[in-house]
Amino acid sequence: MAKYVENAAEEVLAAAKELLEKGLVEGTSGNISARQEDGNVAVTPSSLDYRIMELEDIVIVNPAGEVVSGERGPTSEIKLHLAVLAAYEDLAAVIHSHAVHATMFAVAQQPIPTCIDEFTVYLGGEVRCTEYAPSGSDELGEQTVKALEDRGAALIANHGMVAVGTDMKKAMHNTALVERSAKIIWGARQLGAVHPLPEKINENFASVYPFMR
């Protein structure tokens, strides 16, 4: 049975508020989803400021993207969320954000390397960047699924990042970890060369990731 989030709509709303509080989104940017026990998906609505978003604004869609309940339309990135949840039944929450430092790497179309111990333990290895695809497209969903293979997060070329988890808490943790690591690596590059983890150490940490996922 596919993983799901209890009280999915409430979790999506709480995550939206937390993203705003942590400065990982601004205005109406980014979007969040969580799979329900019945297989439907709770998602943030399109073009609604996180500051005024309420529970009744959360939209429920079926796996085909059709609205099951809610007065608003779902996020314009609904295809990305549904593609990820369909591809990975062990995941239940998806957070797409426009965190500044992670997005810098996405715009440069560079992966975020594994330079910090906890990075590989929680994310599985370097955070890959997708090939460019238009926002809201089927292709973007396909590219994101590919970049997320054996990973807890991916960069979306020229756009932002996506983090995933078996629950919303893990997806939020991964979002914050990627942004923090991107900021550290960007700063370290100003000081000089960035030194990745030794390959053997990174392999050992990567072997822990499936259990942490």
Q: Would you name the residues annotated as active-site residues?
A: 77
Amino acid code (one letter) for 30: G
CA distance 31 to 73: 13
Distant-in-sequence, close-in-space partners of 106: CB < 8 Å, separation ≥ 6: 129, 155, 156, 157, 158, 159, 160, 161
- Mark out the alpha helices in 22-163 (DSSP H runs): 78-87, 100-108, 117-123, 138-147
Residue 82 has φ and ψ, to the nearest 5°, of -70, -35
What's the token pair of residue 4? 């799901």
